[in-house]
Structure 1
Amino acid sequence: MKKLLVIACFFFGGIAGAQAQQTSPVWPGCEDAEDKSECFNEKLNAHVRENYEYPMKQNAYVRGEVKVSFNINEEGKVIVNSVEGSEPLVNEAAREMLKKIPDMKPGTLNGEPDSRNFTTTYRF
């Protein structure tokens, strides 16, 4: 019985050790943060607040909701995949804001640079 227990421990320990080691992209200024993922989210939210420019139409701000999808590729550059919403002016303003995201240290998978996809919805 003890042998079976020892074998089971090695087996399940081996499975746990075989899982992929993954890290998130690192936004500039988050290199020394204790929780880089939380810092990334804070910097992204600040970027949206500071860089989204509300479009105007007939002397009024145009508002709307957009679903955005972008990758941070193996070089740490942002690639906009899609911006979907019912208001074309808001879609374009959101796309321009995403293009201003700074280059960063890419995420890794097992120590190698790896592309990461992000999808979220914003109401402007």
Structure 2
Amino acid sequence: MKNIFTIFLFFTSCISFAQQDVDVTGNKVTIKESAPVWPGCENSKDQKACFNAELMQHIKENYKYPRNNNGDLIRGKAVIKLEINKAGEVVVRSVEGEKPEVNLAAETMIKKIPKLKPGRKGGKPTTANYTIPLTL
């Protein structure tokens, strides 16, 4: 009777500690991952396309072209490396480009991205890294 109780407790503890979005089939373990979700894209059929569309709209609406001393717009290229952390906040890791004014304007624009629903891995929030090349 003691052995049956021990076996029962073992199986109960295995089931109760199983992770969400983790599938074990034979020797194969599959962990489901999902990308961060832009606010308003939660119910979209294609969340990735919605995310990309919202990001492009954000860039169009929030990027402010810097001006030189003559008042002319400064244009250039910038590569932005960012992460969306476990809390859904955007953290700019680096902005690389030839023109410091463009780099600063691009970083300011990226920091205005709203809080997102973080990506998930195995049912738990995870950090997602992105690299965005821009010609501004």
Normalised by the length of structure 2, the TM-score is 0.79
Q: Partner of 2:38: helix, strand, or coil?
A: coil
Is 1:78 aligned with 2:90?
A: yes
- Which protein has the bigger helix share? 1
Q: CA deviation at 1:14?
A: 3.5
Q: CA deviation at 1:114?
A: 0.3
Which residue matches 1:64?
76
Which residue matches 1:44?
55
Letter in 1 for 2:126: D
User: Aligned equivalents of 2:34 and 2:96: distance in 1?
Assistant: 28
Runs of at least 4 residues off by over 6 Å: none
Which residue matches 1:24?
35
Asked which structure has the greater CA Rg, the reply is: 2
Letter in 2 for 1:123: T
Which residue matches 1:5?
none
RMSD: 1.0
Give the percent of matched residue pairs that are identical in Structure 1 and Structure 2. Answer: 42
Gaps of 5+ in 1: 1-12
Question: Structure 1 residues 107 and 56, CA, compared in 2 at 3 Å: closer, same or farther?
Answer: same
What number of residue pairs does the alignment pair up? 111
